[in-house]
Amino acid sequence: MILLSVTGYTSPERSNNEPFMANLMMSDKEKNNSSAPSSPKSMGDDWGTGYGSGRSKLFENPDDLDIFCDHKNGINYIFHGPELGCTIDHLEYDPDTCRITVITNDRQRLDLGVRIQWLVRPYIAKEQDLYIIRTEDGKSIDGVIVPLKIKAPQITKTVN
For 60-114, what is each residue's pLDDT tens digit? 888 888 999 998 888 999 999 988 888 999 999 999 999 999 999 999 999 998 8
Per-residue pLDDT band for 58 (boundaries 50, 70, 90) equals confident
Q: Has this prediction a pTM greater than 0.85?
A: no
Q: Quick check: is 21 in a domain?
A: yes
- Expressed as residue numbers, the domain containing 111 is 2-27+47-150
Q: Quick check: is 109 in a domain?
A: yes
Burial of 122 from C-beta contacts in 10 A (0-12 / 13-18 / 19+): exposed
Amino acid at 134: R
> What is the domain count for the chain?
1
pLDDT of 9: 42
Per-residue pLDDT band for 152 (boundaries 50, 70, 90) equals confident
For 104-131, what is each residue's pLDDT tens digit? 999 999 999 889 989 999 999 899 999 9
